[in-house]
Structure 1
Amino acid sequence: MVDREDLPDRVWTWPNALSALRLLGVPLFLWLLLGPEADGWAVAVLMVSGFTDWLDGKLARWLDQSSRLGALLDPAADRLYIVSTLVALALREIVPVWIVALLVGREVVLGVALLVLRRYGYPPLQVHYLGKAATLLLLYAFPGLLLADGEGWLAELCEPIAWALTIWGTALYVLAGLFYLIQVAGIVRAERAARTAP
């Protein structure tokens, strides 16, 4: 995997445009979910977000348009969708508050870890493949949870699948966070040892 700092410092690329489009979809998604409660349209926005998440990575490789900005925008958009979706689903009483607390708490802890890294002069660490898998599971789980909140055969079909994806995605998301914290702790220990060495 290419280190983020080795990537070109480009802004105007197709992958970055897709990531920006995904970010603009967050307020639209929240409004659809919490305002008119247009769940079908909200699911459509989530599906478009998931597709553009996959597409921007592919385009970055196909067109050789990887960039530092893209390496920051992509995981930021993922996290923003996850946190905003969780809060909205909790407000609608579709998911229990403890799942929201667990996943949002993970983001807060990693935010503090990022500040620690910056204090020691390090950029954000590379996204772990486990975190990518967890994000993918959760981005599939959330539309399923919305569909399962309805009535009829589709809701019955979606409910067990959506909850399975939610449980697995949550477990992997927390585990990826723990791996990130272990990496940060290793960096901090090494820096402190280097500073105290004669």
Structure 2
Amino acid sequence: MRAEVLTIPNVISGLRLLLVPIFAALLLADQDLWALGVLAVAGASDWLDGVLARRLGQWSRLGELLDPAADRLFILVTLVVLTLRDVVPLWLLVAIVGRDVLLSLVLSILTSRHLGPLPVHFAGKAGTFALLYAFPLLLLAQWEGGVGTVAGVVGWAFAWWGVGLYWLAAGIYLRQAIQELRRHRQVS
């Protein structure tokens, strides 16, 4: 892993983080079309930074932190605003944020013992991917007519899959954390 901070993928991830407050402001102002545009740019940049990191060999610890941080912030901001606007129910916000709070506690326990972070699992990536698709579709579901209806059905399908995969990944991370803690206890 390379220690450079100012890599092309890191700059792209940093710019994506800067889009979060713009996205939130647009959603709060009921500027849904512009918000969807910002979300599309953020999604494309998420894909692009990963491709460039692999092709250019520009992996860094900062990049490993920035990329998921941007994803989590987009998910959190989107969920909070969509909940405030009554687009999604409160239970969805609680289910997703609760999982992230649980894993933050697990990570803090591991960090306090100089362990971790845990390797990212495919189920977690797939869950994040599904949720990042679900939210713009659920926003589009507010539109009248066929587009809104189809977007609602597909959006909720992605949301359910995302929540399921998100919690499946949480179970996998918890198992990994327990194994790491046991291994650490045996060595100490």
Match of 2:5 in 1: 11
Match of 2:70, as an amino acid?
Answer: A
TM-score normalised to the size of structure 2? Answer: 0.97
Work out the CA distance in 2 between the residues paired with 1:140 and 1:48: 13
Which one-letter code corresponds to 1:26 in the other structure?
A: V
What are the ranges of 5 or more consecutive residues in structure 2 without an aligned counterpart?
Answer: none
Q: Deviations over 1:112-136 (max 9, x none)?
A: 1111111111131121111111111
CA distance in 1, matches of 2:114, 2:126: 28
Asked if residue 103 in structure 1 is aligned to residue 134 in structure 2, the reply is: no
Could you tell me how far apart the structure 2 residues matched to 1:129 and 1:168 are?
Answer: 14
Cα distance in structure 2, aligned partners of 1:165 and 1:154: 16
Q: CA deviation at 1:84?
A: 1.3
Root-mean-square deviation (Å): 1.0
Partner deviation per Cα, 1:53-76 (whole Å, 9 max, x = no partner): 111000001111111111111111
Shift of 1:143: 0.5
Q: Secondary structure at the match of 1:149?
A: coil
What is the CA–CA distance in structure 2 between the aligned matches of 1:174 and 1:92, rounded to whole Å?
Answer: 25
Unaligned runs of at least 5 residues, structure 1: 1-6
Q: Secondary structure at the match of 1:30?
A: helix
Q: Which residue pairs with 2:128 in the alignment?
A: 135
- Corresponding position of 2:145: 152
CA distance in 1, matches of 2:5, 2:79: 30
> Are 1:24 and 2:44 an aligned pair?
no
Does residue 50 of the first structure (1) align with residue 43 of the second (2)?
Answer: yes
Q: Which residue of 2 aligns with 1:176?
A: 169
Structure 1, residues 115-161: CA drift from partner, whole Å, max 9, x if none? 11111111311211111111111111111000001212211121100
**Which of 171, 175, 181 matches 1:188?**
181
Q: Give % identity.
A: 51
